[in-house]
Amino acid sequence: MTNCWICGNIADSAEHKFKASDLKKSLGKKINGFYISRNIIEINSYKDKVLKFPKVICINCNNNLTRSHDDAYDKFVEFCLENHEEILISRNINFEKIYGENWELEKLNLYRYYAKHAGCKIITANPKTDLKNLSEFIKGNTQVFDFILQFELKAGVKSIMNAFNLSIKYNHLYNS
């Protein structure tokens, strides 16, 4: 049994590598897609194990502690999808436009969502990694000095989408 890397309790929850809401938005209600990692795996269910990290956090951290972080992420994604072309041209993300007057806190919460996601990925790859600073950030610290977040335009992914996805029916979610 593993302990939750955020709070230390028993880890009994599996964080999604891709949020189910993102998958549904990108691939429709009935999923028929491929998970491409070392191998190419066909996926037919949003509950497929391959779409989740192993259980490295607890239900309380995943559902309660980080709910506002997940919400901030959902708002962010919704804005990015709606303003996709404009963002690609301007290469600028205006958080006040996304979140309104509470944008500074909401932006931190968005970063905390990414911190949870990154921490799950890191601890899965190397269970001995010290993620104390990352967990303190998730639990409320406003700064973390060993976690760097960078928004990146993946031009290669966009080219593939343009070349092979002319009907714009399917989406490509990238996790790195």
- What sign does the CA torsion over 73, 159, 30, 12 have? negative
Which of 23/56 has CB closer to Zn ion?
A: 56
58 binds Zn ion (CB under 5 A): yes
Nearest-approach distance from CB 120 to Zn ion, in angstroms:
11
Q: Give, in order, the Cα–Cα distances in Å from 81 to each of 25, 86, 87, 171.
A: 10, 10, 9, 11
59 binds Zn ion, rule: CB under 5 A? no
What three-state secondary structure class fits 40? strand
Q: Determine contact, residues 109/69, Cβ cutoff 8 Å.
A: yes
Which value, in Å, is the radius of gyration of the alpha carbons in the chain?
17
Shortest reach from residue 70's CB to Zn ion, in Å: 15
**Contacts of residue 63, Cβ cutoff 8 Å, sequence gap at least 6:** 13
CB 134 to Zn ion: min, Å: 13
Q: Which is nearer to Zn ion, 33 or 119 (CB)?
A: 119
Q: Work out which of 3, 7, 48, 172 binds Zn ion, going by CB under 5 A.
A: 7
Q: Does 4 bind Zn ion (CB under 5 A)?
A: yes
Query: Considering CB under 5 A, how many residues would be counted as binding Zn ion?
Result: 6
Restricted to residues 80-139, the positions that interact with Zn ion (CB under 5 A) are none
- Ramachandran angles phi, psi of 41, nearest 5°: -115, 125
Near Zn ion by CB under 5 A: residue from 6, 23, 31, 131: 6
Sites of contact with Zn ion (CB under 5 A): 4, 6-7, 9, 58, 61
